Amino acid sequence: MDLRCALPAACCLALASGVVADDSHRAPTMAEVVAASKPSDWRPLDPEYTLYLQMATGRIVIELAPAFAPEHVANIRTLVRQGYFDGLAIYRSQDNFVVQWGGPDSKRGPGKARATLPPEFTVEWNPALPLTRLPDVDGYAPVVGFSGGFPVGADPQTRQAWLAHCYGMIGAGRDNDVTTGNGAELYVVIGHAPRYLDRNIALVGRVVRGMELLSALPRGTGPLGYYAKPEQHVPISSVRLAADMPTAERERLEVMRTDTPTFAALIESRRNRRDDWYKVPAGHVELCTVPIVARPMP
């Protein structure tokens, strides 16, 4: 028994390079789709909307979503440029839910950033938000798909669209008052997608690389996964905009576009997995199981 094959890969990009289709009669696997992609299937990250969250264990790359939460993203950029997050910490890690960081820090005010913001929980669904629709039913939204590299729900009746709480998505914590989430404290989804949060809180971006540095943090033992003791807090060295870093210190990453035939083929490779391990194709793909692939630039 080749035990390395004993479970298939969720996302076997580590094996993708060099994979070629050896069976022209079947639909391509995801690895084959990636291997056959063209340079135009990829886009660079915009350094003005890319954050580097630096911890002792490494650098986490975050892509912001100004099309969906413009005021939150602007406020986060202001906070970052003030050095707001530098020296703050991750103070919450709740199993199968979120890791959270930033505020509270009562000694550090928002400076030039705003203390409250309008609730950017949905946006008007307009032609500037082209949506690559998934073909299958979703329980949380009449329509789901991808727009500009982010997982999205939408409702044709209300003409609303919103980012979806998939694994790795980042949001702005808030209190019961919907204006209280200003981006000074952020959370990332580390478990099964809590889609019931959709339309209740502002999502502001997603982790593009380094997710494992957040998702594998020890869980907090206090209520709601808060670290019970201050010494358990995980320090954040700094958060920087990529645009503020010297070019040589920026990550050279590209992300697969979500509005191309290649991405449609990737979705289909996830709907019905064709490698020899699978005996029953699902015939269905769920929004949060479609990977938005990133890789080093060639």
Q: Is 159 in the site for its own copies (CB under 8 A)?
A: no
CA distance 230 to 91: 8
Q: Is 240 in the site for its own copies (CB under 8 A)?
A: no
Q: Is 276 in the site for its own copies (CB under 8 A)?
A: yes
**Token pair belonging to 218:** 């020890």
Closest separation between CB of residue 88 and its own copies, Å? 12
Residue 284 CB neighbours (<10 A): 13
The answer to whether residues 269 and 11 touch, using CB atoms and an 8 Å cutoff, is no
Tell me the three state secondary structure of residue 296: strand
Closest separation between CB of residue 46 and its own copies, Å? 25
Centroid of chain to Cα 110: 25
Pick from 133, 219, 250, 274 the residue near its own copies by CB under 8 A. Answer: 219
The Cα angle at residue 49 between residues 227 and 132, in degrees rounded to 5? 100
Tell me the three state secondary structure of residue 132: strand
Pick from 167, 170, 202, 262 the residue near its own copies by CB under 8 A. Answer: 167
Per-position x/- string for 182-201, each x denoting binding to its own copies as judged by CB under 8 A, each - no binding = ---x-x---xxxxxxxxxxx
Count interface residues toward its own copies (CB under 8 A).
Answer: 76
Per CB under 8 A, contacts with its own copies among 81-140 are 93-98, 100, 103-104, 121, 136-140
CA distance 235 to 242: 20
Closest separation between CB of residue 28 and its own copies, Å? 16
The answer to whether residues 151 and 285 touch, using CB atoms and an 8 Å cutoff, is no
Per-position x/- string for 43-72, each x denoting binding to its own copies as judged by CB under 8 A, each - no binding = ------------------------------
For the chain, the distance separating the N- and C-terminal CA atoms, rounded to the nearest angstrom, is 36
Closest separation between CB of residue 298 and its own copies, Å? 21
Closer CB to its own copies, 114 or 226, in the complex: 226
Pick from 66, 181, 183, 205 the residue near its own copies by CB under 8 A. Answer: 181
